[in-house]
Structures are given as structure tokens and as C-alpha cells.
Structure 1
Amino acid sequence: MYPGVMRYPDGGGLTAKQRAQREEVRFEAAELFAHGVTPPQVARRLRVSRKSAYAWHARWREAGVQALRSKGASGRPSRMMPNWRAWLAAELDKGPAAHGWVEDQRWTLARVATVIARRFHVRFSPAQTWRILHQMGFTVQVPQRRAAERDEDAVATWIRETWPCVERR
């Protein structure tokens, strides 16, 4: 590994495609440096900051184009293996009842983590579970209609009597 390989904290919040696009910009800068273009000119041409252009130039001078190569996302690799994700998606489609939760037909992060742990013997925190689901393309779902058991009179009473006390605090 080269000492000056580019690294963005937490992957820079970037997808692999976005990281590759940034890497291409750095490679383009290296090509310009090789043709004698100065860092301020590179910054203007590629529409990047002068600070970035000077940093890239220093790395390029020190170790060549390879120093501008992306190192990928930072941090440890996920313990959630790629082939597990396909299995998990299929299990989530079956619904919570297929996994023993019959009283409430909603997936929660804790339930999803439990399903993963039962199958693969790996525990994930709610935050990790959410990250995995988000990467798989799942989003937060909100019920479209109100529960059949909802008592409108009790709700109105709560809003009228209890909420003003809570709100003042």
C-alpha cells in the first residue's frame, strides 16, 4: 500500500460508484500534472478546491498515479456476508409470522436482528441492522391506515386532558 493512498472517513458517505468517479477525477489530475499543468490550473479545470489539487500533486510527485488510487470505504468490513443478504430479503418477504411473531405483523430492527442471529449466529445492534437493511434498499414503512382497535374518544380525551400537562414540561 502507498503511504498517500486516498481515504475518506466512513467511506465519505459515498457508494462504490461515487468513489470510482472521484478516483477518475484524481487520475485526470495526474494526467494534467504529467503535462505540466499547475495545481491551481488543475483546480479550475476540474472544478475542485486548490487544497485538493495541491494535495493530489504532492502525492502524485511522491508516489505517482498509484498514490491517487482509492483505498475504498474505511472501517471494518461488515460481518453480514453478501450471500446472507439474499437469504434475509427472502425471509423478510415471508413476514414476521413465519418467524414466530404472530401478535404483530410488523418487522422491527430487533426482530430482524434476531432472525439474523438465529440463522447465522451473529448479533447486530439496531443501528447495524438498520444500516444493513438500508444498504439492501429497505426503507421505514408507516401504516397507511389507523389501527382498527383505535378508540377515537380515548384519543380525544387524551389530547384534551393529558397532552396540555405533558406539553408544559
Structure 2
Amino acid sequence: MCRPCEWEAFGVAYQPSPSAAGSSPPPLSRPQLAEARRVRAVELFEEGASNVAIARAVGVCAGSVRRWRRVWEEGGVSALRRRAATGRPPKLDDARVETVRAALSRGAQAHGFEADLWTLERVGLVVERVTGVSLSRASVWRLLTGRLGWNLRRPERRAVERDESETARWIAHEWPRITRGR
């Protein structure tokens, strides 16, 4: 079982750092880079370059170039383009995710929890109440960190009776006296 965690949202949309803004385009992802290699290979096919020369130019083995050439001859450039990711679609569409975001922004106490801390279990209960969709703890984690952009914040462990001014006085006066005796 997971220890209680406090979740904090850091804005609604991703904002790039000031140093990255306007400096250069973001780097290509691996699928984009692979597609760019295949497209460059097609350009070289059309110029009449050999498989070995193309392989050297785009940084792959000659076997990949032979396969790409076969696919290109049968289906053209579109056959070498990236395809949409396959797999099961997410249980929550974008509208439902926004509903969950609004519900979570009201805080845990607004949903009847004693403390204003979010745990995976609590978020899962709120998601189920708001959307009717039951998510596993792993799916709740992916929802929070991926689609909502939240991150993990653990509450500081401090005694309720702690007196900050007394602690500061002790560090300033008593601690030096104790360490001088060494």
C-alpha cells in the first residue's frame, strides 16, 4: 500500500522554459527521426543511389534500405510514413479529463476527505464518482503525471507542537555551546 502523497498542479498547460522559447525547434522524437530517415532514403531512391550509399547516408544497414525500397516500390512514399499508435484507446477522453481536473482542483476536503491530501486511492474514487470510470492505481498515476501534469509532493513531517522560534533560539545559542565542548 502506498503512503499518502500530496499532489499539486503546476499550471494548466505546458510552458517551455524561457531559455528554450524561440531558440530552436524541439528535437525530433525517435519515430519522427526514423520517418525522416525513410523519407530521405526515398529522395535518394528517386535520384538512383545504390542501397549501400543510401544506407551510409542515412545511418542504417543495407538490409533496412532494401526493405524500404521494396515497400516504396509497392506502396509509394505513404507506405513509409509513420502510422498512428495502435493499442487500446484511453478510458477517459479529453472532455472527461477536464472534468476530473476541475473536480481535483476543488481539493480533497471538498470531496469529503478529512485532510486536503491526494492519494492515488482518493483520486481514483473521485474519478469514479465524477466520470463513472474505474481506474487502476497505475492508470490513476498515469492520468495525474501524464495527462494532468501533476507531480508528487510529500508532506513535510513536523510535530504539531513544534515551536519555530524556540527551535531557532536553540540552534543559535545552545548548539554552538554544545559543539564548543568537543
Range into which the TM-score falls when normalised by the shorter chain: 0.5 to 0.7
Q: Which amino acid aligns with 1:110?
A: E
- Unmatched runs of 5 consecutive residues or more in structure 2: 1-27, 162-182
Residue 81, structure 1, aligned to residue 105, structure 2: no
Equivalent residue in structure 1 for 2:124, among 108, 113, 129: 113
Change (3 A) 1:91 1:51: farther
Q: How does 1:47-126 map to 2 (within 5 A)?
A: 47-102=59-114, 104-126=115-137
Indicate which of 132, 139, 145 corresponds to 1:128. Answer: 139
C-alpha separation in 2, matches of 1:101 and 1:53: 59
**Helix, strand or coil for the counterpart of 1:128?**
helix
CA contact (8 A) 2:55 2:65 kept: yes
* Percent of residue pairs bearing the same amino acid type: 35
Q: Which amino acid aligns with 1:142?
A: R
Structure 2 vs 1, CA of residues 87 and 149 (structure 1 numbering), >3 Å: closer, same or farther? Answer: same
Q: TM-score, normalised by structure 2?
A: 0.61
Question: Which residue identity lines up with residue 153 of structure 2 in the other structure?
Answer: Q
Is the CA contact 2:39–2:77 (under 8 Å) kept in the aligned structure 1? Answer: yes
Give the number of aligned pairs: 133
Alpha-carbon spacing, 1:69–1:121, altered in 2? closer, same or farther (3 Å): same
> How far apart are the structure 2 equivalents of 1:110 and 1:52?
47
More helix by share: 1
Q: Which residue number in structure 1 is paired with residue 5 of structure 2?
A: none
Letter in 2 for 1:133: L
Q: Give the structure with the larger strand fraction.
A: 2
- Show structure 1 runs of 4+ deviating over 6 A: none
Mapping for residues 144-163 of structure 1, pairs under 5 Å? 145-148=156-159
Change (3 A) 1:83 1:25: farther
The TM-score normalised by the length of structure 1 is 0.65
